[in-house]
Structure 1
Amino acid sequence: MSAEVRSLNEECGVFGIWGADNASNITYYGLHSLQHRGQEGAGITSNDQGTLLNYKGLGLLSQVFNDPKNLAKLTGRAAIGHVRYTTAGGKNFDNIQPLMFRFSNGDMALAHNGNLTNAFSLKEHLENEGAIFHTTSDTEILIHLLRRSSHTAFLDQLKESLRTVKGGFAFLLMTEKKLYAAVDPNGLRPLILGQTTAGAYVVASESCALDSVNAKIIRDIQPGELIIIDDTGYKVDYYTKETQLAVCSMEYIYFARPDSDIHGVNVHHARKTMGRLLAKEQPADADIVVGVPNSSLSAAWGYAEASGIPYEMGLVKNQYIARTFIQPNQDLRERSVRMKLSAVRGVVAGKRVVLVDDSIVRGTTCKYIVRLLLEAGAKEVHLRIASPALKFPCYYGIDIQSTKDLIAAHQSIPEMNQTFGSKSLGFLSVTSLIKAIGLKTTAPNGGLCVAYFNGDYPTPLYDFEAELQAELQRLHVKAPKRLKQEVS
């Protein structure tokens, strides 16, 4: 996360399985499919007849488990795993998940994707009551709440704790006898339930992880649901029914793999439709369409099809370089951009290029790629973005927690166009984004969170309300109507 803002959890990937031989090996392959969601740390906790075994480390999954003996030690027929982007406390080994907790009445392991918007106030309250935190991650808060619950039954304790934490979250909690999976009341962070051909139940952040372990989709876990898995099968319960779907739209735009389905919508199809609608809203007089590898390729194909302009492979990506948006600081992001892309001179030289990218956050990548194409001989570059302009922070688990990180919060479209050196610049509208994804729901904004584009946050922001108001005042931006109602 940028050093300019407080650190909390960012986009991560979780995977869990119950009822399979070599569960830790299956979890490894599932996490490998989710590696794009976090590249700074990884861990797996297995359950061997009630004994929880844990191994984790810094780096890519393959680096953490480079010695096969470490994975072989994680015996048992159930496991949960986690791949991590920057979490609270930076590169702190203690924060790598799954987090393990050993109590007198049983062990637990917890993996979490998302960000709790009331984490600071909850942690302060818990510490004042005598809680001792062993990590600087907001994930640990759930366990402290659970252990302090006044309820006697574990399920009631868990439900109360899930109602107390706020924000965007997808939790996997494994005890000695069960696996629990829950998403926040808005479904901001996705989880999907599946079953292998051998009968084991699987829960993952994306359906691509199910495909990698030969599991079929059963259902998306809905907002407010609590899925309980044990040796008898799975049960659907609720910790709250006060829900309203607001899936993070950046899952479809950038984060998820194109072969994943989220709430019944294929990510590749959604991105391709974004490109088609972008071509209608933001046409360009050009010779070729070029997509930025890899998350923008689907949108670029859609733009080419709708516009009739030929698609060409004008950029080549070094596949061994990590994703720049999820690099932990600006210097590493800039270095990664320089290393990861090359222009194909024979394709772009002398051509008017429509360059399609999925989003603009800080502007580092766009500025460099436009220059790269021009230096390779492109006549002109028309920059087209297959999402709306990112103008507002995200407090639900993405590393855009300050307007300082968002170029569109400070510059107009003509100013950004000049900064990037492009001939023209155009963004997809929020209306077309919602249409392109096309979730079957009557929820506001088509069941999506689009707060980063228009400030329409689906929840109160709790610990971050005052911070956002101060940022908006500093930028002389009027608070969105809905947010103003929530903080009044």
Structure 2
Amino acid sequence: MSVWESEIHEECGVFGVISPECTDVANVSYYGLYALQHRGQESCGIVVNDDGIFVSHKDLGLVNEVFTDETLSRLPQGTMAVGHVRYGTTGKTTRANCQPIEVNHQKGHMALAHNGNLSNAAALRNALELSGAIFHTTSDTETIAYIITRERLQSASIEEALSRAMNTLDGAYSLILMSPQKLICARDPYGFRPLCYGQTPDGTYVIASESCAIQAVGGTVIRDVEPGEILVFSKNGVMSRREHCKAKKKSLCIFEYIYFARPDSVIDSVPVHAARIRAGHILAKHYPAEADLVIGVPDSGLDAALGFAEASGIPYGVGLIKNKYIGRTFIAPNGRLDKVKIKLSAIECAVKGKRIVLVDDSIVRGTTSGRIVTLLREAGAKEIHMRISSPPFLHPCYYGTDIDSQEHLIACKHTIPEICKMIGADSLGYLPADALYQLTGNGAFCSACFTGNYPTSIPETTGKDRFEARLSQRKE
């Protein structure tokens, strides 16, 4: 298992823009997606609405690889655009699964970008196929598009169709939907995934998975989209539909604060950086260590490491350097080199002869953690006390994080002392599950991957299971 395969990934990021005048919305979308690159590095896409005509470009790769000066110049000026960066938890990494998904039906065009994962995706897709639907992708986003389109044929407006579709969808979905005349966004009633909107000085409205993307295009954040809320942006302004609000208990994925989101983002009024600092404070209180230096594993371990240092009084330092030119799309040639050493380097003069507190966001299979500990040992670290800013992963996730099997989770098979020995650390401490509320100051979050307390019913089979079974049947 490679270092990249050992990491936890989140599904994707969405971005939308609507301008009062015909402008270069493609470029605005490019910069917005660039700010959301951390949420998905497999593929990306932009669809521009030029007076009702949709023009798109989508492909596998990073934002700056897919959208060169040449490809951006092919996208027209327009009043609206929707964009997407993807890391797929349901469906294969193919160009067909690139988003936004485009649909052309009797009542016009539609482009849809989705962040999340439906817990009832397999059941919905099966019912649609039995009714005659033909799917071209293996992503559950196409299932959402089918249901909205079906409802659109019986509804007076696209937003009414979306509202009716939400009665059928279960699980996590933050959506941006573009029709010829409107830009619409919606967040599932649980609020599993973040979504917010803002405005630039020229009156352009911007919607994004995270506030950092709105700020990156020169906008000011107005507020988060509420769980269950539908926002309709048009030439008439902004309209809010709230018939699905407060239908469910708010359950934002707590791992957004621990790992997924950028530290400069603010999600549901809670700064991500502050939440990670608090995680470090909690770790220092529950699992103190006698050490000379606190270091973090780049990038998401750095803030928690700073918090640990603040609370413990142990100096904070930089002991690991990340190769910034390697993304998740990096393909390593066959060879015997340790891929961790390609991605991370230890600063020998900083760690040699010292007792180190090493802070990271999680341990999944343990392979990466063990290699990082070895890296520091080889650089001369005297002791390594590992602290994890999340509880142990014990359960699969059905809402857009690629934790879909307990068999690969080290904490499901081994005790904490056993894990400590396996990764070669001198001590190991995880964030206590009952302290998670301290990160946000409330209990309005989903922690099912740690606790097994799922906000929705658990599916008998996941979309991923179903698609992989079909692939095996075809090979046979």
The alignment's TM-score, normalised by the length of structure 2, stands at 0.90
Alignment of 1:8-407 (within 5 A): 10-19=10-19, 21-149=23-151, 151-154=154-157, 155-241=159-245, 242-322=247-327, 336-407=339-410
SS in 2 for 1:110: strand
The Cα offsets for residues 232-266 of structure 1, whole Å up to 9 and x where unpaired, read as 21111035231221110110000100000000111
Contact 2:177/2:183, CA 8 A, preserved across alignment: yes
Contact 1:225/1:236, CA 8 A, preserved across alignment: yes
Displacement of 1:68 in angstroms is: 2.8
The verdict on how the C-alpha distance between 1:343 and 1:82 changes in structure 2, with shifts beyond 3 A counting, is: same
Runs in 1 of length 4+ with deviation above 4 angstroms? Answer: 326-329
Contact 1:117/1:463, CA 8 A, preserved across alignment: no
Matching residue's letter, 1:37: R
Contact 2:89/2:400, CA 8 A, preserved across alignment: no
Contact 2:27/2:72, CA 8 A, preserved across alignment: no
Displacement of 1:460 in angstroms is: 1.2
Matching residue's letter, 2:418: E
Matching residue's letter, 1:304: A
Displacement of 1:431 in angstroms is: 2.5
Displacement of 1:132 in angstroms is: 1.1
The verdict on how the C-alpha distance between 1:138 and 1:349 changes in structure 2, with shifts beyond 3 A counting, is: same
The verdict on how the C-alpha distance between 1:162 and 1:239 changes in structure 2, with shifts beyond 3 A counting, is: farther
Q: Tell me the equivalent position of 2:453.
A: 456
Alignment RMSD (CA, Å): 2.4
Contact 1:14/1:81, CA 8 A, preserved across alignment: yes
Gaps of 5+ in 1: 3-8, 440-445, 469-488
Matching residue's letter, 1:377: G
The Cα offsets for residues 387-406 of structure 1, whole Å up to 9 and x where unpaired, read as 11111111100011111231
Contact 2:189/2:248, CA 8 A, preserved across alignment: yes
Distance 1:349 1:211 in 2: 40
Contact 1:119/1:463, CA 8 A, preserved across alignment: no
Contact 2:89/2:402, CA 8 A, preserved across alignment: no
Distance 1:337 1:85 in 2: 21
Gaps of 5+ in 2: 3-8, 466-476
The verdict on how the C-alpha distance between 1:346 and 1:358 changes in structure 2, with shifts beyond 3 A counting, is: same
Aligned residues: 452
Matching residue's letter, 2:424: G
Distance 2:76 2:341 in 1: 39
The verdict on how the C-alpha distance between 1:76 and 1:336 changes in structure 2, with shifts beyond 3 A counting, is: farther
The verdict on how the C-alpha distance between 1:69 and 1:456 changes in structure 2, with shifts beyond 3 A counting, is: closer
The Cα offsets for residues 349-397 of structure 1, whole Å up to 9 and x where unpaired, read as 1111110111111222211110001111111100011111111111100
Q: Tell me the equivalent position of 2:444.
A: 447
Distance 2:112 2:147 in 1: 13
SS in 2 for 1:15: strand
Distance 1:27 1:452 in 2: 33
Contact 2:120/2:171, CA 8 A, preserved across alignment: yes
Displacement of 1:135 in angstroms is: 1.2
Moved more, 150-159 or 309-318: 150-159
Matching residue's letter, 2:298: P
Q: Tell me the equivalent position of 1:5.
A: none
The Cα offsets for residues 170-205 of structure 1, whole Å up to 9 and x where unpaired, read as 111100000110111110011001111111111100
Contact 1:187/1:246, CA 8 A, preserved across alignment: yes
Distance 1:82 1:209 in 2: 12
SS in 1 for 2:264: coil
Q: Identity, % of aligned pairs?
A: 49
SS in 2 for 1:19: strand
Displacement of 1:65 in angstroms is: 1.1
SS in 2 for 1:83: strand
Moved more, 360-369 or 210-219: 360-369
Match of 1:412 among 403, 415, 424: 415
Matching residue's letter, 2:16: G
Contact 1:18/1:202, CA 8 A, preserved across alignment: yes
Distance 1:244 1:227 in 2: 20
Distance 2:330 2:451 in 1: 25
Distance 1:310 1:180 in 2: 48
Matching residue's letter, 2:322: K
SS in 2 for 1:164: coil
Moved more, 140-149 or 206-215: 140-149
Distance 1:322 1:279 in 2: 31
Moved more, 384-393 or 430-439: 430-439
The verdict on how the C-alpha distance between 1:371 and 1:84 changes in structure 2, with shifts beyond 3 A counting, is: same
Distance 1:181 1:463 in 2: 29
Alignment of 1:465-484 (within 5 A): none
The verdict on how the C-alpha distance between 1:463 and 1:118 changes in structure 2, with shifts beyond 3 A counting, is: farther
Moved more, 139-148 or 339-348: 139-148
SS in 1 for 2:167: helix
Distance 2:204 2:184 in 1: 14
Contact 2:89/2:401, CA 8 A, preserved across alignment: no
Contact 2:304/2:389, CA 8 A, preserved across alignment: yes
Q: Tell me the equivalent position of 1:443.
A: none
Matching residue's letter, 1:359: S
